[in-house]
Amino acid sequence: MGDPNAREVEGVVTVLGGPKVLGRGVRSPQDLAEGVRKGLPFAALSSVMEEYGISRGVLCDILHLSPRNFLRRKEQERLSPDESDRLYRLARVLAHANRVFERPDESADWIQTPNAALGKQQPLTLLDTDIGVQQVDQVLGRIEHGIIG
């Protein structure tokens, strides 16, 4: 896909479990926004946990989701719009990492390894706020352009 928006959407959809989880109709930023507003399927959260080896506790922290609400969402099979928005942000960063490192397992390693450019914090632990997401995206952009290793 030549269109950067389409490429980003495709990357995010892949991170969230692909068409099998989100349905085949998610092809544009507007489609993703609509899915977030309705609440993403719980299966998308499960896909991220499994594919990237992120523990339930860490994912709950990022999504601001209590263990009790985690179980409730699992039962309801859908996240709230706010939780979905946070999961989308995480998926967008993971899709960016996948473009940089070219393999989900390398992206998973990178987001869970303390990083000097981020004050020796794991990138994953910063993804609970928009500011943290921006910091991690900036470091990924520098790696992508060969500025830091």
pLDDT, residue 148, reads 66
- d(CA 52, CA 55) in angstroms, rounded, equals 9
Residue 47 inside a domain? The answer is yes
pLDDT (tens digit per residue) in 33-83: 999 999 999 999 999 999 999 999 999 999 999 999 999 999 999 999 999
**Residue 51 lies inside a defined structural domain of this protein:** yes
DSSP, residue by residue, 4-24 = HHHHHHHHHHHHTT-HHHH-T
pLDDT at residue 119 in the model: 94
In this prediction, residue 1 carries a pLDDT of 42
Residue 109 located in a structural domain? yes
Q: How many CA atoms within 13 Å lie on the side-chain side of 97?
A: 22
pLDDT tens, position by position, 69-96: 999 999 999 999 999 999 999 999 999 9
Mean pLDDT of 116-126: 95
Does residue 38 lie in a domain region?
A: yes
Asked if the structure places residue 149 within a domain, the reply is no
Q: Is the pLDDT of residue 5 over 90?
A: no
Please state the domain count of the chain.
Answer: 1
Q: Which amino acid is at 19?
A: P
**Does 68 fall in a domain?**
yes
Residue 49 lies in domain: 4-144
